[in-house]
Amino acid sequence: MKNSYSLVSLKRWSSKVKDLPAISNIKTIHVYDFDNTLFSSPLPNPQIWHPQSIGMLQSQEGLAHGGWWHDSSVLEATGQGVEKEEPRAWEGCWNEPVVQLVESSVQSKDVVTILLTGRGETNFADLINRICNSRKLDFDMVVLKPEVGPSGQSFESTMSFKQEFLRELAITYKSADEIRIYEDRPRHVKGFREYFERFNKSLLSHRADEPAPPRLPITAEVVHVCELKATLNPEMEVEVVQRAINRHNHAITTNGPGSSKTTNKHLKITDSFLYFGYMISQTDSSRLISLINAPPQQIDSGEVRLFASSILIAPYYPKQDLVTKVGGRGKKVTWQVTGVAKYEDRIWAARVAPVTETPIVTQDPVPLVVLAMRKGSRQVDASRITNWSQVSQDKAFMFESTVADKVMLKIEDDDQMDNGFANGRGRRNRGLRQTHGSEGTHKRKFGDDSGGRNAYARIGGSGTEREDGNWAPKDRVYLGGRNAQRNAKSKAEFNNRHNPNVVGARGGSHQGTTSNAGRGRGGGGAAGPNRGGGRSGGGGHVAGRGPAGYRSLDDYGTGNFDGANESVSGGGANGEVVMNY
């Protein structure tokens, strides 16, 4: 255990050059997480990537230079990239209620304000400081995870690193009587609460003949922040991942840096066909989801997953006569909602009909959109619905769909490249772009930085493949502008719309619990001039732990709200898209 604590020692944790406030002046410590607490960091897009590929992308061992959370090029690509975003302070990428809390913390003379993130110090210190400086968020310390701690510590996880730092922080600022931590991940919220319970007990459990503890117990409040959900521009995301794979392959070929840290050999991106259907836009998907009468807590808990993504034509790769019959890929068809139904309290669907006399083909006898399903249900069971309820005029809205393939990208072993290098022919195979397999498997390989980007036209069912079978120009892909990375109604926004007790939700308040009973704060907004936000927010509600169904990135399956795509499982152990670093 460390025996001496000082500002000089504490400052060694920080990547920011700034003098720390005097120990005697500080009464409260505020610690803010970065990713999806303060800043809307992009997640792998489950509308693009196969679930297995999402898991591999997020693993630190998946690629030679680290995965999604370890490669700075992903964060650099947020919005329109660093060069364009830095001058405008990454507008639209912040959790504004948390930004206001940081600003209040910084202005308070008796508060020390810390940014604490599990991002690696080597790759991210400069970028994260630039992001914060662009918004003029003057933290006292910006602390990232070092490869080796200031005292030679090694960290097996982000949580062990953060707990080690928080211990030194709390003991150094021994005159502070409260520490408040803002965090979006439920597992980390739980971990911090449990840690400070143990920490305070250790300060009270010393024997009389032992030296006095380094400080008195501290009131620890962990504020559970409503998580943000963002993705990169789809074209940019494919290009960023392709570049990362190219760097990985080069490291494997040359036995370069990082090659010994990964479990994968040469890799390639292929596209994999899922189904053929009438694809629905994100905006119309959100409107259709409003027809669901499922209890909000079932959606918040992930028990019921949201769909509203398409009208199925065929669950297999279509032959040309079927494509011709429905008017070809890219054909626009307008539908109107004519009824809604719930099947056995586990499938919610909307009955639809074409507005014009357009030839249509659907897998189900009655054209329908599956709106939501309880976990374990099968989408095919929606065809058993016979009892439809009429909808009121205001809910009988019309929406447009596009005939398209639903295709997802997969990252797979490049056996051809591995065999080529083994036979001394690797240089000739490198960078090939080929078509693999039969019409049914329908795989393509992207062999250069722009290959995946140019072929993105069919990923996510954009419906832009030409009738002659060639790929449509990339400029025909709808991207939605610089804010396309954010869904019109993200999973987080939808799932927390009835929850006033989370930062970032309507009502403006946030939730937290203290490890020492009897210490609470009221009031709205920033909760007084000397605190960076209390337990009550803009709405003035008294915050508790929030509803039982409150969830964050560690708990959601990717299918809870995927806009214009079907619900899919993500890359975690339970099929989640998680922040894995």
CATH of the domain at 36: 3.40.50.1000
Q: Which residues contact 50 (CB under 8 A, 6 or more apart)?
A: 272, 408, 409, 410, 411
Position 91 in a domain = yes
Same domain, 130 and 196: yes
Asked if residue 120 belongs to a domain, the reply is: yes
Residues 210, 350 within the same domain:
no
Same domain, 289 and 153: no
Count Cα neighbours of 38 within 13 Å in the Cβ-side half-sphere. Answer: 22
In a domain, 420, yes or no: no
> 309 and 204: one domain?
no
Query: What's residue 512's pLDDT?
Result: 40
Q: What is the CA radius of gyration of the chain?
A: 26
Compute how many other C-beta atoms are within 10 angstroms of the C-beta atom of residue 198.
10
Domain end point (choices 520, 540, 561): 520
Residues 177, 36: one domain?
yes
Residue 325 has which token pair?
């019959």
Q: Of 373, 405, 437, which one is at a domain's C-terminal end?
A: 405
Count CB-CB contacts under 10 A for residue 98: 25
In a domain, 129, yes or no: yes
The DSSP-derived string for 191-240 is HHHHHHHHHHHHHH---TTSPPPSS---EEEEEEBPPP-----HHHHHHH
In a domain, 526, yes or no: no
User: How far from chain centre, in Å, is Cα 536?
Assistant: 26
Distance CA 571, CA 556 (A): 11
The verdict on 12 and 96 lying in the same domain is: yes
Are 29 and 98 part of one and the same domain? yes
Rounded to the nearest angstrom, the gap between the alpha carbon of residue 545 and the centroid of all alpha carbons in its chain is 23
pLDDT confidence of residue 549: 32
In this structure, the answer to whether residues 327 and 382 fall within a common structural domain is yes
Mean pLDDT for each 10-residue chunk of the chain (581 residues)?
Answer: 83 96 98 97 91 88 88 94 97 96 98 97 97 98 95 92 97 97 94 96 83 92 89 92 93 85 89 92 91 80 85 95 96 96 93 93 94 90 93 94 94 72 40 34 47 44 33 30 36 36 40 39 38 38 31 32 38 48 62
Torsion angle defined by CA atoms of residues 376, 378, 382 and 387, in that order, rounded to the nearest 10 degrees: -40
Question: Residue 14 falls within a domain, yes or no?
Answer: yes
- Looking at the structure of the chain, the number of domains it has is 2
* Category of 389 on φ-ψ map: left (φ > 0), alpha (ψ -120 to 50) or beta: beta
Residue 10: which H helix or E strand, with range?
Answer: helix 7-11
Last residue of a domain, one of 500, 520, 540: 520
Q: Is 221 found in the same domain as 282?
A: no
Whether 457 is covered by a domain: the verdict is no
Residue 331 counted as domain residue: yes
Same domain, 294 and 223: no
Same domain for 38 and 166: yes
CA dist 578 and 581 (Å) reads 9
Structural domain of residue 515, as residue ranges?
7-42+77-228+492-520
